[in-house]
Amino acid sequence: MTKKSKKIHKESGVSETIGYIILFGIMTTGIALVTLYGYPVLLNEQANANVKNMERNMIALQSDVKSLNFKNVPYRENTLQISGGVFKVEKFSTDTKYFKVINETGNYQLIPAASFPGNEFHPGQLLFISEKGDILVGLQNGAVVKREQGGSTMLSEPRWFIDSSGSDKILVLIFTQIDSDADYAKSGIGILQMSSEQPVEVSYLLSSASPIRIEYHDTESDYFSAWRNYFNTFSATTDSTVTIPSVKKVIMKFYKVKILGL
Amino acid sequence: MGLIISVSIFLLAIIVNQSMLVGQTTSESVLDFPKAEIQDIRNEVFRYRSAEVDPDPIQADIETLTLYRKSALVDISNTSERLTIHYNNGVTYYHEVIQI
């Protein structure tokens, strides 16, 4: 008799408080795990998304610069949403990175010293500095370059080309310089206003086909490997200079894009 | 039901995210394609060829103007039996030979 009643009402070990504590414990552990691991992952993703977003912005800006250069558009503006870092205009006069073009037969400098002192072309850049640290995305000399953890890549190339359809090899180099009257830097939403200025065009018809050397100098070596890899598409090289053999004609156009406001 | 809606919103977000860049680059490559420029050059070359004027100064002008305004190389060679038009702006390359 007593055995039967025990089987039906078996509640001697059940406590509401313990059950509550167990459930609460599981819940708290869950919240703790999400805060500990999930939240940093989310923040990290957010920072990555910001950098990705800025890469896109830079490619959009590159096509704006292309319109200014190649389509004779006098003025362009672009609304930028800059989050997770600072966007700044680095004008050519304060830039330590520069290009040189040299005719190896006789070591002639081909960039005109009248417009560019010291035969050095300083491009300047539109630069995004991520607050995540050590990530730079720049629009430099018509190319979109990205630097991360000491290395760099070119996300979008400038329009340099060799035309070898005829009997002579023609090298066309397009340079773009960034200039501004004031120093601009912005985070948040900004409207970048750009205008184009009269380009300088130089063309050399060499007396005999000569090797042409293009040098990229970068003291901080920010975009060193980006340009080296790009130079490799012309001729094999292991540093940031490239020698293109037997060029008969060199055409260089120097465009200037002026930033009016941000 | 809730699951289906949330998954579909997630997928839509991915598509919208991708479409911005794809749309822009596609429309730009369409705009960049120099169809009208090549057609203009062709028309002009055919016109002066049929008019039998001296082509040399016109050819040089076309080549200089295209290089100056569009940063594109143009090379026209016009002989009695062959007409060649060559256009290259680094992205688009066009070469035409007409045997006459």
> Which ipTM value was assigned to this complex?
0.76
Query: What's the whole-number average pLDDT of chain A?
Result: 89
* pLDDT, mean of residues A180-196: 92
pLDDT at A21: 94
What are A57's strand-pairing partners?
none
pLDDT of residue A7: 58
Nearest to A147, CA basis, from A132, A137, A156, A139? A137
Candidates A162, A164, A195; CA nearest to A178 is A195
Q: Which of A174, A169, A175 is nearest to A244 (CA)?
A: A169
Query: What distance in Å separates residue B10's CA from the closest CA in chain A?
Result: 16
Q: What's the rounded mean pLDDT across residues A218-241?
A: 89
Residue among A60, A170, A201 whose CB faces B68 most closely: A201
B30 touches chain A (CB under 8 A): no
Q: Does B61 touch chain A (CB under 8 A)?
A: no
Which residues are paired to A212 by β-bridges? A103, A244
Q: What value does the mean pLDDT take over residues A208-219?
A: 90
Residue A1 has pLDDT above 60, yes or no: no
Q: Closest Cα of chain A to B24: distance in Å?
A: 8
Nearest to A172 by CA among A49, A83, A69: A69
pLDDT on residue A179:
92
When pLDDT is averaged across residues A7-17 and rounded to a whole number, the result is 73
Which residues are CB-contacts of A212 (< 8 A; sequence separation ≥ 6)?
A101, A102, A103, A104, A110, A171, A243, A244, A247, A250
Is the predicted pLDDT of residue A133 greater than 80, yes or no?
no
Question: What length does chain A have?
Answer: 262
pLDDT per position as a tens digit, A54-106: 998 998 899 899 889 888 889 999 999 999 899 999 999 888 899 999 999 88
The list of chain B residues with pLDDT below 50 reads none
Signed CA dihedral, A180, A181, A185, A190: sign only:
negative
| pLDDT over 60 at A146, yes or no | yes
For residue B32, list chain A residues with Cβ-Cβ distance below 8 A: 66
**Contact (CB, 8 A) for B74 and B41:** yes
What are the domain boundaries of chain A? 41-261
Question: A166 and B71 in contact by Cβ < 8 A?
Answer: no
Q: Give me A197's structure tokens.
A: 């200025």
Q: How confident is the model at residue A6 (pLDDT cuts 50, 70, 90)?
A: low
